[in-house]
Amino acid sequence: MQTKTIGLLAVTLLAQVLWFGAPPAPAQTAPAAKDPYPTMAPLDQYLIADQKAEIALARTAAPSSISDDAEIRVLGKDGYTTVVPGKNGFMCLVERGWGAATDNENFWNPKLRAPHCFNAAATRTFVPIFLMKTKLVLAGKSKAEVLQATDAAFANKELPTLEPGAMCYMMSKQQYLNDQAKNWHPHLMFFVPGSAEKTWGANLDGSPIIASNDPEERATIMMVVVGQWSDASSAPE
């Protein structure tokens, strides 16, 4: 997912390359780096023991004018559950590493905490992918099994078709997107069906839109960096 994820997960890794500039190619082929997180860590490392702390962290995804009235979900041993009902159609939660694509080295990273605040369209039609992956990983499934199950769910139309206008806020100063990007930049994400990079003019010189085609989620994730965190403090340029 994200993010994935957006996460941000696989998308954030791409964003680092696009935003900061790709590193020069090595003169010689380097040996493959060892996967720092080859398997799932003990579940307790992914959980936040203090539910109030997780609620507060989830709310930091978006300005308080949005997150104060949003539904809040927190992660437990059986998956995500709603602990605060929403009033405005938004839903905030803190994604974990499996919001990323299954080939992302941070998939099992227990340190990852990525607050998202999704609008209603994304909650209905994009979040179900992440929630399904969560159920699978909590059931002890491998990355290969997660991918196989989600592929089958898309093929069998068990996952919904992405709605127009699906988006989310990722403006938390406290986000930890991966070991390289850490809290990166506050940004908005827009979810578009299929491969849509060219039609949005993304990843071009001067374009503010960073895009990543995510075939595992059947979507292109568009990111737009913004100038301030959700608490209205200035973000780094």
237 found inside a domain: no
Q: Is the pLDDT of residue 10 over 90?
A: no
163 found inside a domain: yes
pLDDT at 16: 40
Query: Do residues 211 and 196 lie in contact, with contact meaning Cβ atoms separated by under 8 Å?
Result: yes
Nearest Cα neighbor of 46 from 140, 113, 123, 93 is 113
Question: How many residues in the chain?
Answer: 237
C-alpha 80: how far from chain center: 15
Question: What is the domain extent for residue 54?
Answer: 9-19+40-225
Specify the residue for token string 């930049």: 185
Q: Where are the alpha helices (DSSP H) in the chain?
A: 9-20, 51-59, 64-67, 120-125, 127-138, 143-155
Express each pLDDT in 17-64 by its tens digit.
333 333 334 445 555 568 899 999 999 999 999 999 999 999 999 999
195 found inside a domain: yes
Domain count, the chain: 1
Average pLDDT over residues 2-18: 40
Write down the mean pLDDT value for the chain: 89
